[in-house]
């Protein structure tokens, strides 16, 4: 009887969901109210307003979708199917609340437009709202941050037929923060960034990106410092110039995350799955950096020859885009690039993400070599990274050495260089290669 009960799948965590709701609700109202009260004690609270916002219409009826997020919030805690998913979702909501309130206290802003008189049901709803929601607590918009979090959860669980309705209603909620005269525009993108940061920090599927010890590799530490300096510079320019320059907060955050990847988190920060797909949160938060990385790859490999065969159906080159993709329709891609998503058009993708310009660990090189060898059983293989010069090259060399196709490190490197002369395999990479192949302990 006990064994049968243990084998039976667990039901939905209703009681746990109720406990989460019982904790989150008072925390929300207490901290939100505290931030409002503290802002009201200040002699002056600033505002960030763009000229185009004067043309945003006030639409009283949009208070209905604006208010509806409260129902979606409460119900969302009963949507997750497992306790683990529920806890991740609860942590997302809690993190968004804590981060937003910290910003409201440290850098309070106020809403400056006067709301027209409203009667009827919308008037009643506005009166209820203003009883606790004062014209402070602006950026980042907690309403938008929660919207991002809830949107992701419901889209995962709703049947496909219902998703267009969900997207339409949630888009309306997003617009309503402006048309109800609750927020200025700057609050919207900052709230969205906070929401996506919570999705990234607490993924519902996969592991949370956790910091490890500071990287021992000096090159990684230098790259981390360079990206951190770039992030600080962009943030300072954005804050100093104001206006449209505030958009620099997005690339600044993107570079700060990349600095973390090089300093202590590693390639896991990019949230690239074994099938080459990248999480929604990672795509959004790191979009400015990814755009730069993509343009850099195109510039470096402009006019570069197509990927070349090294041995036994294993080819080496950069990630193929555009017209280069059809050639590889029946091949397997072994993708060593952490920062860019894998292109489509392959029979299969096996991703072993490695940081650019950093020495890969022997363990990751062994994983890459094993992925190459497994993929060979399904036909041609393309081993690629952003440029096809370093990560993919040392992975192919590891495969050559581990499978006995090369008799030593020098021979493996020479075979790769004969096929693709511009490859870069430095002393540290050669050492990692030797350790991955068991030549050195």
Q: What does the angle CA 37 – CA 28 – CA 284 come to, to the nearest 5 degrees?
A: 110
How many CB atoms are closer than 10 A to CB 145?
27
**Max Cα-Cα span within the chain:** 84
d(CA 33, CA 137): 9
Within 8 A by CB and 6+ apart from 146, the residues are: 69, 73, 93, 96, 195
The secondary structure of residue 130, as a DSSP letter, is: H
Long-range contacts of 67-71 (CB under 8 A, 24+ apart): 67/125, 67/129, 68/169, 68/173, 69/143, 69/146, 69/147, 69/150, 69/173
Burial of 227 (0-12, 13-18, 19+ CB in 10 A): buried
Starting at the edge strand found earlier in the chain, the sheet holding 332-337 runs: 308-311, 314-318, 381-385, 332-337, 348-354
φ, ψ (nearest 5 deg) of residue 321 = -130, 160
**Which 3 state secondary structure label does DSSP give 361?**
coil
d(CA 287, CA 272): 14
Place of tokens 């009960």: 5
Active site residues: 385
Q: 11 is written with which tokens?
A: 């039901």
d(CA 286, CA 258): 8
Q: 172 is written with which tokens?
A: 């309306």
Helix (H) and strand (E) counts in the chain: 16, 5
């Amino acid at each position: 009887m006990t064994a049968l009960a243990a084998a039976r799948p667990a039901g939905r965590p209703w009681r746990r969901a109720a406990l989460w709701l019982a904790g989150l609700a008072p925390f929300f109202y207490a901290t939100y109210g505290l931030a409002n009260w503290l802002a009201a004690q200040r002699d002056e609270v600033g505002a960030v307003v763009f000229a185009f916002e004067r043309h945003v219409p006030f639409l009283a009826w949009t208070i209905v979708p604006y208010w509806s997020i409260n129902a979606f919030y409460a119900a969302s805690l009963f949507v997750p199917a497992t306790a683990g998913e529920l806890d991740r979702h609860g942590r997302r909501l809690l993190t968004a609340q804590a981060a937003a309130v910290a910003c409201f206290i440290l850098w309070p802003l106020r809403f400056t437009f006067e709301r027209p008189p409203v009667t009827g049901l919308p008037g009643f709803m506005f009166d209820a709202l203003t009883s606790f929601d004062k014209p402070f607590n602006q950026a980042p918009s907690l309403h938008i941050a929660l919207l991002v979090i809830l949107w992701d959860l419901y889209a995962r669980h709703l049947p496909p037929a219902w998703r267009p309705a969900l997207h339409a209603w949630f888009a309306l909620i997003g617009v309503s923060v402006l048309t109800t005269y609750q927020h200025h525009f700057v609050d919207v993108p900052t709230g969205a960034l906070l929401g996506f940061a919570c999705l990234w920090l607490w993924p519902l599927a996969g592991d949370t990106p956790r910091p490890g010890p500071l990287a021992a590799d000096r090159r990684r530490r230098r790259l981390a410092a360079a990206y951190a300096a770039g992030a600080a510079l962009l943030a300072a320019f954005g804050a100093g110039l104001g206006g449209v320059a505030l958009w620099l907060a997005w690339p600044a955050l993107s570079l700060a995350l990349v600095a973390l990847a090089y300093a202590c988190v590693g390639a896991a920060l990019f949230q690239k799955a074994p099938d080459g797909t990248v999480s929604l949160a990672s795509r959004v938060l790191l979009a400015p950096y990814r755009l730069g990385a993509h343009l850099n790859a195109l510039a470096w490999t402009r006019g570069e020859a197509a990927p070349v065969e090294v041995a036994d159906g294993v080819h080496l080159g950069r990630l193929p885009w555009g017209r280069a993709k059809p050639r590889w329709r029946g091949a397997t891609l072994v993708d060593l690039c952490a920062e860019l998503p894998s292109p489509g058009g392959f029979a299969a993708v096996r991703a072993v993400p490695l940081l650019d310009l950093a020495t890969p660990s022997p363990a990751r090189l062994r994983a890459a070599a094993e992925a190459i060898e497994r993929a060979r059983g399904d036909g041609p293989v393309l081993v690629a990274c952003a440029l096809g010069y370093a990560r993919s090259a040392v992975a192919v060399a590891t495969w050559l050495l581990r499978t006995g196709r090369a008799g030593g490190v020098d021979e493996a490197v020479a075979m790769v260089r004969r096929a693709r002369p511009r490859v870069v395999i430095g002393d540290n990479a050669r050492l990692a290669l030797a350790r991955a192949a068991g030549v050195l302990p």
